[in-house]
Each structure stands twice: as structure tokens, then as C-alpha cells.
Amino acid sequence: MDLLLITCLLLSFLFTFFAILLWINRAKKAGLTGIDMHKKNKKRVAEIGGIPVLFGFIFGTMLYTGYRTFINNATDFNTEILGVTATICVIGIIGIMDDILGWKLGLRQYQKPILCLFAALPLVMTMVGNSKIMIPYIGIVDIGIIYYVIIIPIAISGAANAFNMIAGYNGLEAGMGIIILSTLGLVIWLDQGLGNVAMLAGIMVACLSAFLLFNSYPSMIFPGDSLTYTIGALIAAVSILGNTEKIALFLFIPYFLQFFLKSLGGWRKESFSGLDQKGNLHVPHNRCYGVEHLVVKIKGYFGKVSENDVVFSIYSIELVLVLIVLLNSSIFWGF
């Protein structure tokens, strides 16, 4: 990889790192804090961590765009970059609004996916992606305008809201975002040679890596909807640009399971775990209403369960899916 590209990723990491340091202090002074539910001392932690990550991603993408424009004299992908950046900004604003208002006064469940549909408008207007799809027993069909005005908005809104469902444990959201975006970026870069698309994923991975340093156990900052919406929307955008929608859907299997488990509780049950006097986690309901609860329930049969146990177990599930993807990719087989 070009040394300047590596420098771009490094600067994105550093920008986000120092932006988070600044945000943690400012958020605490402004009272933008939340209780860490899985700690006995119930300490308060800085919230809305998606803001510094969002700025880090914008910084990184603009730095990369400037590199391509002024050093490589290439402008062919700039429209797509700006379209993705605009979509991420809109979805981030929606998340920030929900974070500030809180879960009691924030957006209702049915309002969130509707608002997220509008975040896809920049991608729709720039007509990114390939409208030709494979339909079983029929073949490749160009669905034209339907792809842009229906499929893309549903993909952006669906991914943003789905990624927001598995959350609430230190390091979980950022780590899952790193795993999924790294996999998509690797496949798109090595398998298809779409370095520009892979770079968008890489920039966010760099930003999330900086965030994970502060968000891993014990967390100093929470991501909030401002980050989970952003990660989910970018996963969809990268998949659309890189024609890896099927891979993204496969990697989202835990989120499909989460959707089913959440529906069992009528969307009113949280995925937080209960905490006993010794600091061990347990399922607070008679039934499991989240993938997190399933992990706590299963691991509880073998002994004590900590917050890190839950997070790394879900990481492991996702990494198994990643391995399956790579084993079925030409990256692994070399053709």
C-alpha cells in the first residue's frame, strides 16, 4: 500500500484519538454522561462518542480525497466519496439528536428507520452502486431506478438500525464495527481491486480503533446512537459500492437473530444483564431478549460471567462468520 495512504489512516487514527480525549472532558463538564450498567459502582461515563469518531471519519475522507485530487490528479471517485460522507453526516446527526434527547424523549422506534431513509438521499442522488442483480432461475436483471430509490434507502436504514440493536457492553459496538468493516474492506480490495472503496472502510476502522482504546472495559466513553447508526450506514454504503451486499448480509446474521429475540419482548425489553453482589452477570428475565442474554445464559452454565466474556463471545461468533466468508473467497484460494 502507498506510504501516503498509510499516513492517511494513521492521521485519521490520531485525529480521532485526540478528539475523543477532548470530548470526554467536555462531555463530563456539560453533563453528557450515562451510567455504566454493568459495573457495581454505577459510575458515570461520557456519552455521544459518535461525535469525535464522525469528525475523525470526515477528516480522513477529506484528507484522502485531497490526496487523490491534488497528488494523483484523480477525481473519478470523488462524487462517491462525497455522497458517502454526506450520508454518514446525516445519519450521524439523527443519532446525535436521539442521544441528546435520551431514550425517554428521543425518537420512537418507528420514527428511527423512517428518518434514516432520508440519510440515503446523497447516495440515491449520486446513483452509486450497480442496479444489476442476480435473481435465481432468471439471471442478471437490471432493476434500474428501483435499485436507487428503494433498495439503497432500505439498505442504509436497515443496516443503521440493525447495528444499533447489539449494544450496551463495553467495546462491543466498536469491536464489531472493526471486524465487519475490516472484512468487507479486505474482500473488496484484494478480491475486486476496488481500493477506493476499501479505503473508506479502512478510514473508519482506524477511527474505531482509536475509539476502542477508550471504550473497551472499563469504558471511559459510550458510543451512543450517533456511532452505531454511523457504523451501520457505512457498512451498507461500502457494501453497495463494493458489490458485496450478500457478504454484508451474511456477516449480519447475529443482528437478524437479535431482531427476532427483541421482537419476542415487543421491543420493550433491554439487552442489559443483571448484576449480582459479586459483579457477575445474569439474565434478568425468564426469557432471553437479546444475543447478549443468550451468551450470558450459556456461559452461566459453566461458571461466572463477566462483561468481557459477553463481548469476546460475540466477537468470536462474528469471527467465525468472517472465516467462512474468507474461506469462500478468492482471497483465500488465490483465484
Q: What is the pLDDT of residues 292-326, one digit of tens each?
A: 999 999 998 888 999 999 999 999 999 999 999 99
Is the pLDDT reported for residue 124 higher than 90? Answer: yes
DSSP state of 141: E
Distance (Å, whole) CA 161 – CA 114? 10
The predicted pLDDT at position 129 comes to: 84
Q: Can you read off the three cell numbers belonging to residue 58?
A: 470526515
pLDDT in tens, 57-92: 999 999 999 999 998 899 889 999 999 999 999 999
The predicted pLDDT at position 105 comes to: 56
Is the pLDDT reported for residue 181 higher than 60? Answer: yes
Q: Can you read off the three cell numbers belonging to residue 216?
A: 473497551
Return the minimum-mean-pLDDT range out of 15-19, 72-76, 104-108, 151-155: 104-108
Is the pLDDT reported for residue 120 higher than 70? Answer: yes
Is the pLDDT reported for residue 18 higher than 70? Answer: yes
H or E stretch including 263?
helix 253-264
Average pLDDT of span 265-290: 87
Banded pLDDT at 335 (limits 50, 70, 90): very low
pLDDT in tens, 27-41: 999 999 999 989 888
Using DSSP's 3-state secondary structure scheme, residue 286 falls into coil
Is the pLDDT reported for residue 104 higher than 70? Answer: no
* Residue 32 neighbours by CB under 8 Å, 6+ apart: 46, 47, 48, 100
CA 288 to chain CA centroid, nearest Å: 23
Is the pLDDT reported for residue 1 higher than 60? Answer: no
Task: State the average pLDDT for the chain.
Answer: 91
The predicted pLDDT at position 107 comes to: 66
Contacts 24+ apart (CB under 8 A), 127-136: 128/80, 128/83, 128/84, 128/152, 128/237, 128/240, 128/241, 129/240, 129/241, 129/243, 130/243
Percentage with pLDDT > 70 across the chain: 96
DSSP state of 112: H
Question: Higher-confidence residue: 272 or 267?
Answer: 272
Distance (Å, whole) CA 248 – CA 197? 14
The predicted pLDDT at position 121 comes to: 95
Banded pLDDT at 235 (limits 50, 70, 90): very high
Q: Can you read off the three cell numbers belonging to residue 144?
A: 434500474
DSSP state of 121: H
The predicted pLDDT at position 332 comes to: 59
Average pLDDT of span 256-261: 95
Identity of residue 108: R
Distance (Å, whole) CA 222 – CA 215? 6
Average pLDDT of span 223-249: 96
Q: Which residue has the cell 463538564?
A: 29
Q: Can you read off the three cell numbers belonging to residue 210?
A: 482509536
Every domain of the chain and the residues it spans = 3-252
